[in-house]
Chain A
Amino acid sequence: MPFKHHTPVRFISGILLIAFGATALVSVHAQTIDKRILDAEAKRVAVIEKAKPAVVAIFSAGGQGGGSGVVISRDGYALTNFHVVQGSGPVMKCGLPDGVLYDAVLVGLDKVGDVALIKLLPQKTGKDFPFAPMGDSDKVKAGDWSMAMGNPFLLATDFTPTVTYGLVSGVHRYQYPAGRLLEYTDCIQIDTSINPGNSGGPLFNMDGEIIGINGRGSFEKRGRVNSGVGYAISINQIKNFLGHLYAGLDTDHASLGARVETVKEEGAGERLTVRSILEDCDARRRGLDTDDELVAFAGRPITSVNQYTNVLGLYPKGWRMPLVYRRNNNKKEVLVRLMGVQPQEVNEEQPKSNPQPQPSPQPPTPPIPNTPAKKLYVPKTGFANFYFNKQHLDRLLAASRKQGDFSALGGNWRIEADALVRNTRRDVVFAVTEEKDKDSKSPKTLVRLNMGTAYTLEPLKSGQELDELLQPAGSGGLMLALYQYRHLLVLGQKGFEGAFYHGGHEPLYPPPPDGAAPRNLKDRRVDTEVIRTEHAGVTAKWYFSLKDQTLLGFEVQVDKEKDPCEVYLSEYRMSEGRLLPHRWEVRYGGEGYPERYAVFNIKSYQLAAAK
């Protein structure tokens, strides 16, 4: 039937006619359009062109589905959603707008925050990737323009992202988690259209900086497509987790251990108060109690439960952040170690009933496809990808060894110092010795500390009372701390039969030199990378400067229910070819900021080689 053949042609010519008509209309308009308008449009197009090359289309290696992402570094690290890599598995394929399909591997996970870090592998070693800079999402306001890029409905077969443009509808939004995961705290609400497949893609400001990662929307009656209400995880939250993600960790978010409520008071408005608090949480040990009024957390004022959950969600478990509370009209700033949200043991407890719609039902985990990316994937409990943890650990240890190699110095150590112990001047001698027992032939390690009173500790002897391990009393275990310090320097990783891994990034708050409690904790903050260790049942955290990998301090925790002994190291000077700290400040417990136990001004290090 020839007649039917004509129909589509007619249809197309119809479209062409309309298109020509529209073009004519537009060109007529163009002559009368204000130059500012054209400039604004040109600027927008330029920003899109600049940002676009970094936008990733993510596919599972088998090609069953996809999401989006964005490259944030020249070596190919890219951000996406946890629920995207959950769909794709640890090894995936990533398309960039250059038209090339790259192999990629999972690096780090933040399941609660719905964020994942992946790494694209360059086609030629050392070739740089285009990447987008990260902006400051705290500056984003409702009413700002924004652009989302990604691969909605998996439209882009050539990996060119779809661009949508719209308003920021709200900031500091809170969206409830699905079970314990995918909790969107302090997120950015947008009317910029995002749809299935946009997940994990970037939200840009009009300077082409990443301000968020698009991940979810409000759905009710209109189906799972754009409802005019989408949410992006704020990039400032992701920045807090980035050190953990790079280190291949499976991270957790923070909780305080306190339940809060707003209490309405006659004439005085409302107060956000602590309703109940866990007995063994750090906030409780820092003095926080029921009925205390919360004022600010991490420098942000909090007046509602939503704000409280929002601001806590910004930080990883284990970080220490300042909390301001009020009791009897006295405001107090305390430094709190944050607890986690997820159950301690991995896979210990899955939320039983899940009221939230989950990503399309997951097929049983397929075998990891044999791509070059597979070589960069090492699964291990508690880690997203242990391969990257090992990389970071080795890098950090190598950098640290450059400042001094102690591996040969396994003999007796003797350190002399002028000290201020509990505000009293003392001459102090500290020694670690390897001695042979009279009865047995095996050597044993002894720690001695003489500062008026003489202390001896045999750190590896079993069955010791907690009080012995914690001596000198009030230090939280200084003897053990000194022992662990030597152990790390001399033996490194092989000395730790328990855990030994890179713990990502954490803030450290070294005390002011004058010995006073810091007036403002925020000003004391130094960003560090952490190694976490366990040896002889004692866990420790070692804080290395992000700038030059100097060991700025460490804490040794003898007992889980007790505060750790904190040692802050400074005044690094050369001593026999090695950089060593000549000032040790020991702090422990206390309300607010840990109390000073002692300051050691080191006069000499005598570190003998192993016999």
Chain B
Amino acid sequence: MHTTGASWWASKTRPTLRKIDTMKPLRLLFLIGTSAIFFAPAARADQPFADIADQVNKKLVKLFGSGGFRGLASYGSGMLVSPDGYVLTVATHLIETQDLRVHLYDGRRYQAKVIVSEPELDVALLKLENVEDLPYFDIPQAGKRPLAQAGDWVLAFSNQFQIATRDEPMSVQRGVIASHSKLHGRRGIHEAVYQGDVYVIDAITNNPGAGGGVITTRKGELLGIIGRELRNSLTETWINYAVPIAAKVEIREAGDKLRTVSIPEFVDQAMRGKYKPIQRKEPREGPGGYHGIVLVPNVVDRTPPFIEDILPGSPAAKAGLRPDDLIVYVDGEQVISVKAFNMAMSRIQPGQTVTLEIRRSDRESKAEKLVTVKLPLTERPKPKR
């Protein structure tokens, strides 16, 4: 693999050392805090997983498609969801090609056709022709399985780093569900399409090409589909997550209908050729609604979002916002920079009301207080002639 570095001779002069040292107290705390969680299930796993790994691997496929530029991998993972060659994977750039190739566990190679993809669930369904009797994951059954809980042991399978080709088995890793929470909460930081519930995993599962792989129980029962590579642009860290098969997302469609979808519904309808992708009511990103807040110039990487000025007559002026206010939260989401604030606001449309939490110092006493402000956004005013 061209992405592999060789040498792990450690140099004492490396700056990484310092970094790690500063992390130590944090790690210690983490270990103490989670030891109880680790403890109970840990020892049941003294059995090797070779047989399980073998079983699961037969239901997985290696994908080769578009990519290979700007850090985008041209390979990925997927799972068989029917005996006749339906494959579920993530809806990434990888499948945007006429030449999507699939390697089965036994080395057989096929071209795959994209049936339909659903960005809201971040999944796509592919089809291989002229195959039968393949081992597969039963998606409806997996959808009924109870959600895994934080602290549960899981196995992760994927073709990360394109380590396997043809009949070579995919990589297996083990990890623990660190939490079951919303990916939504990280928006503006992660460029995630999917914004529903995820399993956050303590192992490094979401490497290049891992998307579309699976996490399973230690018996090999399907729990979720491994998501994309997501980097937190603020902390330069990477999140390792999978979308639970049972997860549902609720989207407001054009015509103001609320539609709920889940992976089992998607797979079921898509296999019958009946799945219609969600038409969002609003574009996901855009200029957003009008608020009238002018922030301080964005001069450094993490310029704090202090208000410089308020446009007269604007919603912000009516809501009582003032220069020198520091915006801390937007709809409960921390915004630590001008950039983060702009990204958060860009998703809020005219007619919607956003809740801002503001840190405000009293001019006389210098005492600080937190103020909560409801800010209804409007259409942008037409430029005056």
Contacts and interface: CB of A to CB of B under 8 A. Distances in A.
Interface of A: 15, 18-19, 22, 25-26, 29, 33-34, 36-38, 40-41, 43-44, 63-67, 81, 83-84, 86-87, 114, 141-145, 151-154, 166-170, 172-173, 175-176, 178, 182, 189, 191, 194-199, 206, 214-229, 231, 270, 303-304, 306, 355-360
B6 A182 contact: yes
B163 interface: yes
A33 B9 contact: no
A191 B174 contact: yes
B133 interface: no
A169 B171 contact: yes
A217 B10 contact: no
Contacts of A198: 8
A81 B9 contact: yes
B207 interface: yes
A223 B48 CA distance: 30
A218 B161 contact: yes
B128 interface: no
Interface in B254-291: none
Interface string B30-47: 001101100110111010
A169 B173 contact: yes
Contact of A199 (B1, B10, B29, B165): B10
B161 A67 contact: no
Contacts of B39: 26, 29, 33
B29 A15 contact: yes
Given A26-B36, A37-B44, A169-B171, A66 B10 contact: yes
Interface string B3-34: 11111111111101100100000001100110
B223 to A, nearest CB: 17
Given A22-B32, A34-B44, A143-B53, A229 B161 contact: yes
A218 B1 contact: yes
B14 to A, nearest CB: 7
15 contacts: A114-B6, A154-B10, A170-B172, A182-B6, A196-B9, A196-B10, A196-B16, A199-B8, A216-B6, A217-B4, A218-B1, A270-B107, A357-B5, A358-B6, A360-B13
Interface in B44-94: 44, 46, 48-54, 57, 71
B107 A15 contact: no
Given A81-B9, A167-B172, A304-B107, A219 B36 contact: no
Contacts, number: 237
Contacts of A33: 39-40, 43
Given A141-B50, A153-B20, A360 B11 contact: yes
Given A169-B171, A170-B164, A227-B207, A221 B8 contact: no
A357 B9 contact: no
Contacts of B167: 303-304
Nearest to A194: B8
A189 to B, nearest CB: 6
B1 A176 contact: yes
Interface string B159-188: 011011111111111100000000000000
Interface string B201-223: 00111011000000000000000
Given A33-B40, A167-B173, A170-B168, A218 B3 contact: yes
B8 A215 contact: yes
Contacts of A170: 163-164, 168-172
Contacts of A189: 163, 171
A197 B173 contact: no
A443 to B, nearest CB: 57
A65 B11 contact: yes
B229 interface: yes
Nearest to A40: B46
B12 A64 contact: yes
A205 to B, nearest CB: 10
A65 B10 contact: yes
A57 to B, nearest CB: 11
A199 to B, nearest CB: 4
A227 B170 CA distance: 16
A228 B238 CA distance: 13
